[in-house]
Amino acid sequence: MPARIVYATFPSVAEAEEMARTLVEARLVACANILPEMVSIYRWEGQIERGTEAVMMLKTTSERAAEVVEAVRAAHPYDVPAIVVLPLEGGLPAYLAWIAGEVAAG
């Protein structure tokens, strides 16, 4: 079963943790890694902005990736959140099997 990483950013670690717990409890993801602070420089509505965000990487299966994207989008405080799905090419077979085993079929 192919695995995916869903990358998303959140305005705070607390919001990322809440989302991660919800997704793991729902068995949409096997694991969430949260990197507590990064600096983002971006253009929004014609202005250059600077902010700090928490990065979250969610491990899931290709079959559930779209559901993960929708769940994150639905609960996200941003108008246009950064949410992308990244394919995994290879990896430790036992780890990939663990992801598949932890993510329940839809």
pLDDT one-digit tens code per residue, 30-43: 999 999 999 999 99
Q: Please give the C-alpha separations between residue 88 and each of 6, 24, 67, 85, 95, in angstroms, as whole numbers.
A: 10, 19, 18, 10, 12
HSE-up (13 A, CA, CB side) for residue 94: 0
Looking at residue 104, its pLDDT comes to: 78
Q: Average pLDDT over the chain, rounded to whole?
A: 95
Alpha-carbon distance of 11 to 26, in angstroms, equals 22
Is 70 exceeded by the pLDDT of residue 1? no
Whole-prediction pTM value? Answer: 0.92
pLDDT at residue 105 greater than cutoff 90: no
Model confidence pLDDT, tens digit, residues 56-88: 999 999 999 999 999 999 999 999 999 999 999
* Average pLDDT of the residues in 44-65: 96
Confidence of residue 95 (pLDDT cuts 50, 70, 90): very high
